[in-house]
Structure 1
Amino acid sequence: MQMQQANSRFEQLLSSQGERRKKDPPTYEGKFGEDLELWIFATEEYYANKRGIMEADTSDFVTMISSSLGKSVLNWYRAFSSDCDATGMPKTWQLFKTKLRKRFRPKDFEYNLRERLFQLKQHGTIHEYVSSFQDLMSQSELDISEMEKRFYFQNGLRAETAKKVKELSPRFLHEVIEIATNF
């Protein structure tokens, strides 16, 4: 009987752990240099099981995530919320992301991002360079052609690695990365 009670308690513990909330949702402070796109991605992943309300034409999702905003972003959100209420427009996730980017991204963000990609150089290991490159690439909202990706990536490689990549003329970024990693 005691063993049965212990097993029952153990099963209850296991099931309650499964229901327990995962770690806290990502927060966005709106600080200079903070990766807005990474926060958007992390938020969408965190709430993946709520995709239905995320994509709905209602304010429900944005209202739910507003508690994950830092002070300066929350002040902006208050004005955004008032504007939406005044015009009768729902605070949809799409509208929220568009307005958030407009407010917290530098005006010339995509151009500056291209500059940073062009100036990025491999100083450490190839794996560190790949990580830095992919971090910058993930911030772009615009499509970047495979040739442009190759150009930026190859431009920052050490000379001997870049020469090897050029000799093999890969068409896709993943091929360039593979060649550089194996060189």
Structure 2
Amino acid sequence: MECYFNASQVKDDKTMVDTTVLYLCESAALWWQRKHSDIEKGLYTIDTWEEFKRQIKRQFCPHNAEDIAMKKLRGLKHTGSIRDYIVEFTSLMLELPDMQEKDKLFYFMEGLQSWAYNELKRRNVKDIDEAIAVAEDLMEF
């Protein structure tokens, strides 16, 4: 939603919340109906986009999401295609926004199959973006 708001240059908190709730479904839609009912009763307020994000994350993201992501990252291995490995690694990085760049590179490299690891070492990759770009070039192998 934030990509959409940026592209559409939407900056108003109320518009952002009102637009987002249109896309909620299943348990998220039920959650919003309950929250909205409480708001209408004056029991509660969600006045900003940041507050909305905080509330929805509190409801649907496990409190230990970073720990779970770190455990998955430590066990992540390149066993199938490089593409699948890159997608899984990148999705885990979204759960670990505070991870240092050198640590990202370390975990990415450590999970690769030896032939891919050796090729990235041979090319002397210096950061995670370069490592992912080089790994994507290896997809043909």
TMscore range, shorter length: 0.7 to 0.9
Output aligned runs, 1:33-48, within 5 Å: 43-47=1-5, 48=7
Aligned length: 136
Picking from 39, 44, 52, the partner of 2:11 is 52
**CA RMSD between the two structures:** 2.6
Give ranges in structure 2 of 5+ residues lacking alignment: none
Q: Secondary structure at the match of 2:84?
A: helix
1:98 equivalent in structure 2: 54
Question: How far 1:158 moved relative to its partner?
Answer: 0.4
How far residue 117 of structure 1 moved from its aligned partner, in angstroms, is 1.6
Percent of aligned pairs sharing the same letter: 27
Q: Cα offset for 1:51?
A: 1.6
Q: Which one of the candidate residues 86, 102, 113 is aligned to 1:158?
A: 113
| Partner residue of 1:76 out of 31, 37, 42 | 31
Instruction: Report Cα offsets for 1:73-101 as digits up to 9, x if no partner.
Output: 12211232244452563432211111111
Query: Would the aligned equivalents of 1:66 and 1:74 in 2 still touch at CA under 8 Å?
Result: yes
Q: Does 1:148 align with 2:103?
A: yes
| Residue aligning to 1:12 | none
TM-score by length of 2: 0.77
Contact 1:61/1:93 (<8 A) preserved: yes
Give yes or no for contact 2:10–2:16 (8 Å, CA) kept in 1.
no
In the superposition, the TM-score normalised over structure 1's length comes to: 0.62
Residue 156 of structure 1 and its aligned partner are, at CA, apart by 1.0
* Cα deviation 1:32-78 (Å, max 9, x = unaligned): xxxxxxxxxxx22234315222xx3xx33312321211131122112
What amino acid does structure 2 have at the position aligned with 1:177?
A: I
Match of 1:63 in 2: 18
Summarize deviations over 1:107-143 as a string: whole Å, max 9, x none. Answer: 2101111111221111223233222211222343x32
